[in-house]
Amino acid sequence: MVDKGKGPATKVSAGLLDLLNQAIARELQVAIQYMWQHVQWSGVKGFAVHDELKSIGIVEMKHAEAIAERLFYLGGTPTTKPTPIFVGKTLKEMIEQDIKDEANAVELYKQIVEVARKEGDETTNRLFREILQQEEDHHDTFTTLSEDL
């Protein structure tokens, strides 16, 4: 019997909680990564990239917070540790890494959408469908910007 009086109304597997923490670690990584790339960027080229790095970095921080809120509700403890941050020396180096990180996010979030759906966690499913769409936009933005570098 499920005890409906205790804990969150929606219960999920430890595997899904772990995936949410992997997502948080990645969001923390890219939030810091884009912020430092924005700070360290210099040169006459890439003013558009500069602005995008700043605004996308802020979006990633909001993703980290939204996912952490969901994880905490579900009974997990959000990690404070980002996955390894890569800043890069040149704008080209920076954006090439960022394209890879966004592609990895898209892959991981598709997986989370699917697992959440299977476990009947509609809220996590919806949250990650929304975030997934934004990561696809970021990937598209960085890919487009990289063509001019």
52/135 with CB nearer Fe ion: 135
Closer of 11 and 85 to Fe ion (Cβ): 85
Phi (first) and psi of residue 77, to 5 degrees: -115, 115
Report CA 78 to chain centroid distance, whole Å. Answer: 14
Distance CA 22, CA 25 (A): 5
- Asked if 64 and 24 count as a contact pair (C-beta separation under 8 A), the reply is yes
Q: Which is nearer to Fe ion, 27 or 121 (CB)?
A: 27
For Fe ion, which is the closer residue by CB, 11 or 78? 78
| Nearer CB in complex with Fe ion: 8/137 | 137
Shortest distance in whole angstroms from residue 2 CB to Fe ion: 33
CB of 137 to Fe ion, least distance (A): 8
Task: Provide the binding-site residues for Fe ion, judged by CB under 5 A.
Answer: 27, 60, 63, 135, 138
Q: Evaluate whether 41 touches 98 at the Cβ level (below 8 Å).
A: no
Report the nearest approach of Fe ion to the CB of residue 83 (Å): 12
Residue 87, judged by CB atoms within 10 A of its CB (0-12, 13-18, 19+), counts as middle
Rounded CA gap, 54 and 101, in Å?
Answer: 16
Quote the least distance from Cβ 111 to Fe ion, whole Å.
Answer: 15
Amino acid at 141: T
Q: Minimum distance between the CB of residue 53 and Fe ion, rounded to whole angstroms?
A: 11
